[in-house]
Amino acid sequence: GHLIDGTIIAVKQLSSKSQQGNREFINEIGMISALEHPNLARLYGCCIEGNQLLLIYEYMENNSLARALFGEEEVQLKLDWPTRHKICVGIARGLTYLHEESRLKIVHRDIKGTNILLDKHLNPKISDFGLARLDEEEDTHISTRIAGTRGYMAPEYALRGHLTDKADVYSYGVVALEIVSGKCNTSYRTKEAEKAYLLDWALVLQENGSLMELVDPSLNSYDEEEVLRVINIALACTNTSPILRPKMSSVVSMLEGGTPLGELSLNPISESSDDLKSKAIVDYHEQKDHGQSRTDHRETCTIFRFINICC
C-alpha cells in the first residue's frame, strides 16, 4: 500500500482474541511507534476497523533474512561475506538500542531470521519489536508466559520463563551462526547426524577445533579471522548461563574490532549442560500442543501478549 505522501508501506493484520480495549491498544502502539533507529523497522501506526487490527510498517524491498538465506532457491539472495558481516552488526546495533539506549527498555523475545527484514541496500531491520515485552527498570528479570520460537529461545526462558535482555542475546547468537553458515538452526543436517541443531553442531566443531567447517560453502572469499570472530561471539552469546553472555553493546564493539574478544565464555560442550540447551527447548515444546507453535512461517501474529502484560 501507499501513504498519502506516496510512501510505500507494508500492512500486517493481527488476530483479535483479547478483551483489551482499543484505547489501550492505540496508546501502546503510540509509545512503540516513537522508537526510531536505522536497524528497526519503522512502525508508522495502526488501524482498527471492526474486529480487524492492522499494523502499518515501512516496506522492506528484500523481504526477510530467513528467506534470503534459506528460502526457496529462486528467492534466496547471494549474500557475500561483507554483506553478512554488515547484517550481523546491524542486528546487534538494533538490539543495543532496544536494550540500552531507548527510553523504553524492550526485550524482543522472538529474534529470528523471519523477524529481520532487509531493505533495498540489504541493511537489516528488526521487525515486530512492538510485540515485545517492556523491561521494567525496577525488575532484574521478568517471569512471564513463554512466547517465542523453538530453536531460538534461551534455555532459562524456555524452561522457567525467566526473561531478561540476555534472552535476546542468546537468540542473536543463533541467528549469527545462521548468517555464517547459511543454514537454518532448526533444520541443519550433518554427515554424522541426519538432523541436528546448528548450535549443537557448532559446539561439537568447537571442541574439535574445526569451527571453520560452519562457513557457508557458497562464500567464495571471506576474511577468515573476521568470520572466526563472528562465530566465537555467537557462541559467547549462546552461553548456557545468561550472566556470562555479553551485552549487545559489547557485541557491537567486538564485531567492529573495537574491543578484543578477551576472555569470552564460549559455552564449551564439556559443561555437561546439554539438557539446558537445544534438547531441553525441544522437549519443552513437544509437551505443548503443536498448534501453539509461534510464528515460524506465518504472516499473522498476536500483539496481545505485549498489551496484556504492559498495561
Active site residue 216: no
pLDDT, mean over the chain: 79
Report the distance separating Cα 192 and Cα 219, nearest Å: 23
183-220 pLDDT per residue, tens: 999 876 665 555 678 999 999 999 999 999 999 999 98
Cell of 72: 526457496
125-169 pLDDT per residue, tens: 998 765 566 665 544 444 445 667 889 999 999 888 888 999 999
Pairing, β 9-14 against β 106-107: unpaired
| pLDDT value of position 93 | 99
Q: Is residue 226 part of a domain?
A: yes
Q: Is residue 275 part of a domain?
A: yes
Residue % of the chain over a pLDDT of 70:
71
Least confident stretch, 101-105, 194-198, 278-282, 293-297? 293-297
Q: Is residue 196 part of a domain?
A: yes
Q: Is residue 41 part of a domain?
A: no
* Domains in the chain, number: 1
Q: Is residue 20 part of a domain?
A: no
Report the distance separating Cα 179 and Cα 177, nearest Å: 5
Range of the domain at 169: 65-296
Report the distance separating Cα 207 and Cα 111, nearest Å: 27
Rg (CA), the chain: 19
**Band (16; pLDDT cuts 50, 70, 90):** low
CATH number of the domain that residue 93 is part of:
1.10.510.10
Q: Is residue 227 part of a domain?
A: yes
Least confident stretch, 103-117, 136-150, 151-165, 287-301? 287-301
**Band (78; pLDDT cuts 50, 70, 90):** very high
Element (H, E) at 198: helix 198-208
HSE-CB at 284 with a 13 A cutoff on CA atoms is 23
Produce one character per residue of 9-33: b if its CB has 16 or more CB atoms within 10 Å, e if not.
Answer: eeebebeeebebeeeebeebbeebb
Report the distance separating Cα 79 and Cα 219, nearest Å: 8
| pLDDT value of position 240 | 93
Instruction: Considering the candidates 80, 110, 139, 274, report the single residue annotated as catalytic.
Output: 110
Q: Is residue 301 part of a domain?
A: no
| Residue 120 pLDDT > 50 | yes
Q: Is residue 133 part of a domain?
A: yes
Q: Where are the alpha helices (DSSP H) in 34-164?
A: 65-70, 81-96, 155-160
- Chain-centre distance for alpha carbon 153: 9
Residue 190: exposure state from Cβ atoms within 10 A (0-12, 13-18, ≥19): middle
